[in-house]
Structure 1
Amino acid sequence: MIDILLPSFVLVLIIILMHTYLGIEIIKRQIIFTDIAVGQMAALGTAISLVFFNEKYHFLFSILFAVLTAIIIAYVSKKNKYVEAFIGIFYAFGFSSLFIVLSKSPSGMEHIKELTASDILYVDFKDVFITFFIYLIFLSILYFSKNYKYYEFIYFPVFALTIVHSVSLVGVLVVFTFLIVPAFIGFLVKKEKAFIIGIASGFILSVFAIYLAVKFDFPVGYTITSVLSFFAILLAIIK
């Protein structure tokens, strides 16, 4: 069974590493729901390509919607103190629009389930290698541009592109979980080592969740979200 699950485990580690780095920045900025809004808009772009263009250009539409959303959020966050409310409105718009668009597809509900929480068990090592190189490039861009005056306008498009790729692999809900929960756990345990603690805890809990899902035939994406969220809630109560 380990051989079958190995690509999923490695991919989870890579995604958690990238998303914990981004999640720490998001929590520091107090714009927690940015990723779920961007992810939802990316999913909307995919849905539009599916319904109106027979799924042609779905990555192009997804990237366009996600990057535009991220740039708008970056712009509004500089001038509006109610940015969290604005992001919530953006999410509501994307979520409702997704249902409207997919209502025109005979298999709309199935697509909604896939876009919300995909089954990571179906990935292979090709997905692992592609994700590794994409995220290595993204991390390098963020690291070397950190002191740049217009870093925000680099960070958010890179953030959006990361979300687009991750959503295509694991779905919007799991992306939100990987972005927020490990970073949140890291901050709760020890702020100075939030990155390392977040990666370790996120990976261990995800492996445990995948094991539970396989053993008891639970939906994998929702099990990952449930296990990580439950642990974060428990830790927050104890701390």
Structure 2
Amino acid sequence: MNLVFSDLTIVLPAFLAGLLVLATHIPLGAQVLKRGIVFIDLAIAQIAALGVIIAGSGQLDPHGWAVQVAAGSAAVLGALLLTWTEKRWPEVQEAQIGVMFILAASAGLLLVAHNPHGGEHLQELLAGQILWVSYAQLPMPALGAAVTLGVLYFFNDRLARLGFYLLFALAVTVSVQLVGVYLVFASLIVPSLAVRHYRPGRKLVFAYLLGIGGYASGLVLSIVLDLPSGALIVWCLSLLAMLVYSAGPARSTAAASA
């Protein structure tokens, strides 16, 4: 009994971190699919991770404000660059997003090449260490989530492309340090992809339920099986997404009602 309770106390802050990520990433993911810029999240998340790596090379506190500023600045610069490239060459924007992702990823590899702990740090940024999130790390993401949801609620479709990119960049900056690049992408895309043929009034509800179920089952399995939590959550999200998609309304019915 004590062992089970101890396991739950480990999982609880990680689960709360997952809820904070889902709170903003599900509506942002719906916007990403609607705007047709699916891989922007990977690019911005990787750029934010690059900012963390650059700050880390200066021996800064990994949870200090300087690292947050570095990651946020890198993500905002990436968002500004993507806005510029879209205006200049809109017909190849997805390709430009992909190039930006691979450049940021390659730059991260180069920066940690001579760091004895570089590989471990890079893996943490990609796969995340959500299981070891502490309560002390949650207030800032909670504030960021509240601001992001407030902007989405009051502006929603009225957000210009630059405004959306900047809001997206700041949201991803926080989440990538909590859960890693892989979970950022999965949280943004997988739930929204699974419910895309649902009726508008039900999309968000089922997307959130899917996300909550994916995080909860992935975290529990990671304790039981002693496997990496981030990777298991990605798989749990994906498997649940298949079930939600297949159990949803027929595509023809959904299309007719839309």
- Structure 1 and Structure 2 fold alike (TM over 0.5): yes
Shift of 1:189: 4.1
Shift of 1:4: 3.0
Is 1:59 aligned to residue 65 of structure 2? Answer: no
Are the counterparts in 1 of residues 210 and 244 from structure 2 also a CA contact under 8 Å? no
Are the counterparts in 1 of residues 42 and 181 from structure 2 also a CA contact under 8 Å? yes
- Give the letter for the 1:93 counterpart: L
Shift of 1:185: 1.5
Find the aligned partners of 1:4 and 1:109 in 2 and give their Cα distance: 25
Find the aligned partners of 2:55 and 2:136 in 1 and give their Cα distance: 24
Aligned to 1:110: 120
Aligned to 1:209: 218
Change (3 A) 1:59 1:237: same
TM-score (norm 2): 0.84
Find the aligned partners of 2:99 and 2:245 in 1 and give their Cα distance: 27
TM-score (norm 1): 0.90
Aligned to 2:24: 18
Q: Which range moved further: 26-35 or 66-75?
A: 66-75
Change (3 A) 1:193 1:104: same
| Structure whose alpha-carbon radius of gyration is higher | 2
Shift of 1:143: 2.6
Aligned to 1:200: 209
Q: Deviations over 1:178-234 (max 9, x none)?
A: 111111112144454222211111111211111111100000111111222244356
Are the counterparts in 2 of residues 67 and 161 from structure 1 also a CA contact under 8 Å? yes
Aligned to 1:27: 33
Change (3 A) 1:212 1:88: same
Aligned to 2:83: 74
Is 1:93 aligned to residue 98 of structure 2? Answer: no
**What is the CA RMSD across the aligned residues, in angstroms?**
2.1
1:184 aligned to which of 176, 193, 211:
193
Is 1:124 aligned to residue 149 of structure 2? Answer: no
Count of residue pairs brought into register by the alignment = 237
Unaligned runs of 5+ in 1: none
Are the counterparts in 2 of residues 145 and 151 from structure 1 also a CA contact under 8 Å? no
